[in-house]
């Protein structure tokens, strides 16, 4: 447990269970940023090299090839060029759902102006059910877009059955991974995902301003960006540039180098600690929390099915807002969201901290 906890000094001050909002800073991240600033003073920061290194670290995290990863500033900016670059038009449809964060809604609803139909699946029991998506998918479905882990309910969706479904109809599976990558062991090859976008500042435990987009190698020649920056160009020309042949064809201009330096340090830390060990620790903590909440007078928003468990557990109480404030005042760093109180346990948290939260909630009943 010491190796999980020691890099996060904030754990000595508060009970930080808010990774689904912002991950806490770690000493490796701070050190990497400080070193980069020192190099900047010496005019030797090598920012573009650092970004390529961060892309490679993220590729390793999700079992992708580095040529399949493009740097992006956040999840929204990662999803938007995918939606715009697939050539969707009148007669095509996209299937999304009502549990998505807005970052994975607007890139698709924006396509309505081009005649694209956006079909919506409604969640049941805090999750999106495969059979409900099946009812919406047909041979004109070009995209099924879904979060691997839902931001409000914490429902974890199994991606391979979704990939099989949409691929059988000639479409693509696009995934918002910001609530999964860094918390769960992600394997885009095993799950047969086509596109996967993720920001840095939640479970990747990096600073804001960095993000990544995975695009499956076999699809790169089908992607035709409608806008791009200098980072996407292989050969510049006033008559029309030649785009790169890797996922970098979806990149734009100069990124936040500091953000990518810090995020690479965090991803490297997680790769060293072990992705399977991290997932096991997070799921053990969230299941312990879920089980404890079932014994209290609360209404659980997160799914009961253990196979859908993630690091996010949400619930309401008889006085949700005031109970949230009471917990916050006593040093529990958690979130209040539209679905209720949201607790997101990091791998650095302990069973004792979960028990402490449950005990305090019990006294508030």
- Nearest by Cα to 185 from 26, 291, 51, 63: 63
- With 80 as the cut, is the pLDDT of residue 260 above it? yes
Q: What is the pLDDT of residue 43?
A: 64
pLDDT exceeds cutoff 80 at 288: yes
What mean pLDDT comes out for the span 302-316? Answer: 97
Question: What confidence score (pLDDT) does residue 45 get?
Answer: 64
pLDDT-derived band at 1 (thresholds 50, 70, 90) equals confident
- Give the model's pLDDT for residue 44: 66
| Cα distance between residue 41 and residue 70, in whole Å | 28
**Overall average pLDDT of the 158-170 stretch:** 98
Taken in order of first residue, the domains within the chain and their CATH numbers are 2-25+275-364 (3.90.1150.10), 27-271 (3.40.640.10)
Give tens-digit pLDDT for 209-249. Answer: 999 999 999 999 999 998 889 999 999 999 889 999 999 99
Q: pLDDT tier at 40 (50, 70, 90 boundaries)?
A: confident
Residues contacting 30, CB < 8 A, separation 6+: 262
- pLDDT for position 17: 98
* CA–CA separation, 213 and 77 (whole Å): 9
* Tokens 């019990």 sit on residue: 362
The stretch 258-273 carries a mean pLDDT of 96
User: Which of 215, 300, 251 minimizes the C-alpha distance to 52?
Assistant: 251
> Residue 347: which residues within 8 A CB-CB, separation 6 or more?
4, 183, 273, 277, 278, 281, 282
List pLDDT tens digits, range 59-71: 999 999 999 999 9
Burial group, residue 66, by CB count within 10 angstroms (0-12, 13-18, 19+): middle
| Separation CA 187–CA 314 (nearest Å) | 26
Mean pLDDT of 263-291: 97
Q: Look at the alpha carbons of 10, 268, 347, 5 in this order and tell me if their dihedral is positive or negative.
A: negative
- At CA 105, angle to CA 98 and CA 194, rounded to 5? 105
- Predicted local distance difference test score (pLDDT) of residue 283: 98
Strands (E), the chain: 15-16, 69-72, 93-97, 117-121, 141-147, 172-176, 195-199, 211-215, 233-235, 242-243, 299-300, 312-316, 332-333, 335-337, 340-344
């Amino acid at each position: 447990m010491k190796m999980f906890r020691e890099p996060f000094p904030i754990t000595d001050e508060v009970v930080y269970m808010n990774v689904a909002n912002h991950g806490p800073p770690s000493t490796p991240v701070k050190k990497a940023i400080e070193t980069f600033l020192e190099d900047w003073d010496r005019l030797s920061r090598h920012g573009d090299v650092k970004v390529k290194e961060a892309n490679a670290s993220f590729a390793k995290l999700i079992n992708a090839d580095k040529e399949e990863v493009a740097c992006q500033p956040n999840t929204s900016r990662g999803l938007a060029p995918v939606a715009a670059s697939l050539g969707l038009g009148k007669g095509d449809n996209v299937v999304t759902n009502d549990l998505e964060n807005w970052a994975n809604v607007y890139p698709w609803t924006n396509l309505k102006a081009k005649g694209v139909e956006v079909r919506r699946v409604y969640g049941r029991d805090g999750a999106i059910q495969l059979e409900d998506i099946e009812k919406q998918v047909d041979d004109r479905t070009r995209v099924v877009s879904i979060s691997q882990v839902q931001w409000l309910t914490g429902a974890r969706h199994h991606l391979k059955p979704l990939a099989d479904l949409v691929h059988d109809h000639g479409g693509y599976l696009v995934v918002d991974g910001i609530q999964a990558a860094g918390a769960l062991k992600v394997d885009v090859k095993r799950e047969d995902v086509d596109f996967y976008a993720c920001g840095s500042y939640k479970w990747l435990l990096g600073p804001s301003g960095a993000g990544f987009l995975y695009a499956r190698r076999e699809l790169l020649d089908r992607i035709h960006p409608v806008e791009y920056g200098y980072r996407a160009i292989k050969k510049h020309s006033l008559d029309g540039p030649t785009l790169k042949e890797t996922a970098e064809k979806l990149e734009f201009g100069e990124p936040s180098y500091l953000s990518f330096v810090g995020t690479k340090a965090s991803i490297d830390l997680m790769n060293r600690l072990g992705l399977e060990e991290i997932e096991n620790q997070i799921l053990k903590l969230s299941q312990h929390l879920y089980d404890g909440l079932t014994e209290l007078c609360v209404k659980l928003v997160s799914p009961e099915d253990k196979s859908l468990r993630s690091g996010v557990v949400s619930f309401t109480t008889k006085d949700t807002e005031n109970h949230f404030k009471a917990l916050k005042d006593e040093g529990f760093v958690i979130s209040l969201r539209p679905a209720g109180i949201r607790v997101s346990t990091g791998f650095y948290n302990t069973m004792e901290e979960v028990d402490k939260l449950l005990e305090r909630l019990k006294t508030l009943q």
